[in-house]
Amino acid sequence: MNSSGDRVRRGIKGEEAGIAGASEIEIATEDATADASSGWIQGLKLYHGRFTDESLWQMTIRPVGLLILPPVLWATLVMSVTIGFITAITSNVASAFSTAYGFEAWQSGLCFVSAIIGCLFGIVLGGHFSDWVADYFTRRNNGIREPEMRLPAIMVGAITGPLALALYGCGIKWHMHWIVPTIGIGLSEL
């Protein structure tokens, strides 16, 4: 939809028709209604029509096929394990802190302030630090950037993830000071 509420269809003309070398873009508009407010209301509809000739089955199966690609599979496994550990930690905080330290529920809840602090550090490390690492390796590669240049920034999480689990688990089990598992909660969110 464009700003006036008209539906716009774009398609590459030539290559789909079998004409080699053609790369013009054809734009066709369909009149919606003359009233600008009804165009905005029509934009709120949940269903705007069908924009492809592919079957629903093909559109459903295509992303599943991507899961066998090594980068996608690795990212899926890493995120699954990370989310699993975070869920395991956060689901037993109240019972673990009440058993080990005699905390009440609200005191255990205050330990999650460390998770907020960890997330704030993670925002900085995830974005700006990753960009800085990629820029550094781009300069070393004569100005040519490759996607793999962001990978060394993952080492922060590769170190803090297991460290967070060790701090949380050992702190609770051996009744260390309450700040030890709390730091583990904060590092798990990094």
Summarised one tens digit per residue, pLDDT across range 11-46 is 444 444 444 544 444 444 444 444 455 678 887 888
d(CA 53, CA 185): 49
The predicted pLDDT at position 40 comes to 81
Report d(CA 167, CA 121) in Å as an integer: 18
DSSP state of 21: T
In this structure, are residues 133 and 153 in contact, taking their beta carbons and an 8 Å threshold? yes
The pLDDT of residue 33: 44
DSSP E strands, 31-121: none
* The pLDDT value given to residue 2: 54
pTM of the predicted model, to two decimals?
A: 0.65
Per-residue model confidence (pLDDT) at position 26 = 45
Domain ranges of the chain: 7-51, 92-188
Would you write out the chain's pLDDT as a tens digit for each of its 190 residues?
555 555 555 544 444 444 454 444 444 444 444 445 567 888 788 888 888 888 889 988 888 888 889 888 988 998 899 899 989 998 999 999 999 999 999 999 999 999 999 999 988 878 889 899 999 999 999 999 998 898 888 888 889 999 999 999 999 999 999 999 999 999 998 8
Tell me the C-alpha distance between 96 and 107, whole Å.
12
Residue 103 confidence (pLDDT): 95
Instruction: Identify the pLDDT of residue 118.
Output: 93
CA Rg, the chain, in Å? 26
Residues 6+ apart with CB under 8 A from 139: none
DSSP helix/strand/coil, 184: helix
The pLDDT value recorded for residue 157 is 85
Query: With contact defined as beta carbons under 8 Å apart, do 160 and 190 qualify?
Result: yes
Work out the end-to-end distance of the chain between its first and last CA atoms, rounded to an integer number of angstroms. Answer: 40
Report the candidate in 152, 146, 154, 184 with the shortest Cα–Cα distance to residue 168: 184
Secondary structure letter of residue 75 according to DSSP: H
